[in-house]
Amino acid sequence: MPVNIYLIPLPLFPGNLASLPADVWTYTRTLSHYIVENIRTARRFLRELHPDLPIDPIQWCEIDHKKEEEALSTLKKWVAEGHSIGIMSEAGCPAIADPGSIIVAAAHKLQCQIVPLSGPSALLMALMASGLNGQSFAFAGYLPVKEPALQQRIKELETLSLKYNQTQMCIETPYRTQALAQALCRHLQPGTLLCIAQNISAPNALITTKAVQQWQANPPQLDKLPTVFLWLKA
């Protein structure tokens, strides 16, 4: 029997458990081994989900870009012992814009059964709500922080958007969202449509699409919150 690897989504903001499907509730009650982006976040999530679930016996392994080898070694050990394993991001769907994809790739090589569970994804929810092209889109991850590399990358992506009628998407760490919004308004063409989707699914969510020239006339003032940026050059 192959070992099952469950990709478990978390709410996009703490406490929003209603956004999770029944499968998440079911599998998290039985799993005892987890590879996660943040152990504290994962433990808090399980306590909220199952107040009666014993947390202390659960075994954890944290993964980030500095702990990849340790996490891969732990994965191999747990798979050899026959344990089913849950993978969690800090928010949203694991293995998308986080280091969980490294674990999933290794699990395929170990012939594990990968079981993705449905749940909230900031990228897809932003695309759905943007009004931009959902038939052709690309996620560029994080853009360069400093100029002139940032300007060059924005221009490259805008060229691709025009060439393929393709929505371009990126994210940024919360403390740099305002700077990136300003850079996009500065470097994109005035007629390019820009959607800013911040704190998606939270009560104070902001999801607004308008031409860059409109954003320039009324510059966005963004909080330090998770944000997805999308643009389409028509």
User: For residue 7, how far is the Cα from the chain centroid?
Assistant: 13
How many angstroms separate the CA atoms of 118 and 73, rounded? 27
Model confidence band, residue 149 (pLDDT cutoffs 50, 70, 90): very high
pLDDT > 90? residue 2: no
Model confidence band, residue 65 (pLDDT cutoffs 50, 70, 90): confident
How many angstroms separate the CA atoms of 31 and 78, rounded? 12
Structure tokens at 162: 């025009």
Residue 118, phi-psi category: left (phi > 0), alpha (psi -120 to 50), beta (remainder) = beta
Instruction: Fill in the DSSP letter of residue 38.
Output: -
pLDDT at 115: 96
Cβ distance 30 to 83 under 8 Å? Answer: no
How many angstroms separate the CA atoms of 135 and 190, rounded? 23
Residues 6+ apart with CB under 8 A from 219: 181, 182, 185
Model confidence band, residue 19 (pLDDT cutoffs 50, 70, 90): confident
pLDDT at 194: 98
How many angstroms separate the CA atoms of 138 and 148, rounded? 22
pLDDT > 80? residue 213: yes
Cβ distance 38 to 19 under 8 Å? Answer: no
Cβ distance 43 to 55 under 8 Å? Answer: yes
Q: Using DSSP bridges, classify how beta strands 59-62 and 85-88 pair: parallel, antiparallel or unpaired.
A: unpaired
Residue 111, phi-psi category: left (phi > 0), alpha (psi -120 to 50), beta (remainder) = left
82-112 confidence digits (pLDDT tens): 999 999 998 899 998 888 899 999 999 999 9
How many angstroms separate the CA atoms of 107 and 222, rounded? 39
pLDDT > 80? residue 20: yes
152-192 confidence digits (pLDDT tens): 999 999 999 999 999 999 999 999 999 999 999 999 999 99
pLDDT at 169: 98
Domains of the chain: 4-116 (3.40.1010.10), 122-232 (3.30.950.10)
Cβ distance 27 to 4 under 8 Å? Answer: no
DSSP string, 115-162: EEPP---HHHHHHHHH-S-SSSEEEEEEPPSSTTHHHHHHHHHHHHHH
pLDDT at 72: 94
